[in-house]
Amino acid sequence: MQLCVSPIVAIITCVVNGAQFVACLYVATQTHGRGVPDRDDPRVVKERFLRVGVACVIAPLITLLSLMTPSGSSTRCGDDEPVVRWLGLWGSWFVSAAIAPLALTMLLFLGPLVTTCLDGYKPLLRPHGELARLKRIRNLLVGPLAEEWVFRGCMCPLLYGAGFSDGASVFISAIVFGSAHIHHRFDAGDPWTAVAVQFTYTSLFGAYSSYLFLRTGLLIGPVLAHTFCNHMGLPDFGGVATHAHAIIVASAYVAGLIGFIVLVTLDAIYRPKLFGSFFWE
């Protein structure tokens, strides 16, 4: 199978896919007093499991439709590869493509991981009940699987097929991913500063996840990295200085960040053949 599409059609398709993903969450859904859905209402959470499933079915159909759109001489064609490889569903390097991205992500979170080890992991302090269980399913399973499928599996191959460079593909998909997440802040009625922060860190993660997909050629790495990041949450930078082992924790934060930057930079410069991704040449 070849992906033949013009750059402009590829960008429009990515935007449309991002928009339909968000639209599926809101069309004819239950609302609370302010007229927007309460995303933490158990009924809404269950509804949205089904809704993102619908979005995941629609996304590849939109991508397929874009390949049938006449676009003249500007159309480019990607490599002739099996569909499962275009979508990042399978490759003989599946295990290494799962372990390496997760290990790299854990390195980035070295500071929080060391903090957890020093403080002691306290699973009994986690919230219990139906809502807590549903939120864990949403954050650790449904969310990562659905978002990586739509924003990586159905976008990055299309951008590659349109002739975009690695960097351009990462940037475009990251902006679409970040834009598709700012609705959470509007739901909560947060100010524009909070919206900007939400857009920034989700776009940064989107860029990282797109890099993992293009680098490994498979979805498993981005999915595991996404799940791990959702589990860890944003690092508590403010608590470093007041921690009982502040020097150790601060050193772990710095070492993890430097190690992460060095490894990603060296990988981008030397581009070693570690995986079988045809997206990464």
Contact 173, 156 (CB under 8 A): yes
Contact 202, 184 (CB under 8 A): no
The span from the CA of 202 to the CA of 164, in Å, is: 22
Residue 4: beta bridge partners?
Answer: 77
The span from the CA of 10 to the CA of 68, in Å, is: 12
The span from the CA of 230 to the CA of 238, in Å, is: 19
- Kindly list the distances between the CA atom of residue 65 and the CA atoms of 9, 60, 135, 233, in Å, as whole numbers in the listed order: 10, 8, 34, 36
Query: Which pairs from 114-118 meet CB under 8 Å and 24+ separation?
Result: 114/248, 114/249, 114/252, 115/236, 115/239, 115/243, 115/249, 115/252, 118/243, 118/244, 118/245, 118/248, 118/249
The one-letter amino acid code at 78 reads G
Q: Is 89 helix (H, G, I), strand (E, B) or coil?
A: coil
The span from the CA of 5 to the CA of 212, in Å, is: 23
What would the two tokens of residue 99 be? 């372990």
**Set 32, 181, 183, 231: catalytic member:** 181
181 classed as catalytic: yes
**Set 47, 81, 147, 245: catalytic member:** 147
Question: What contacts 197, CB < 8 A, 6 or more positions away?
Answer: none
148 classed as catalytic: no
Could you give the residue numbers annotated as active site? 147, 181
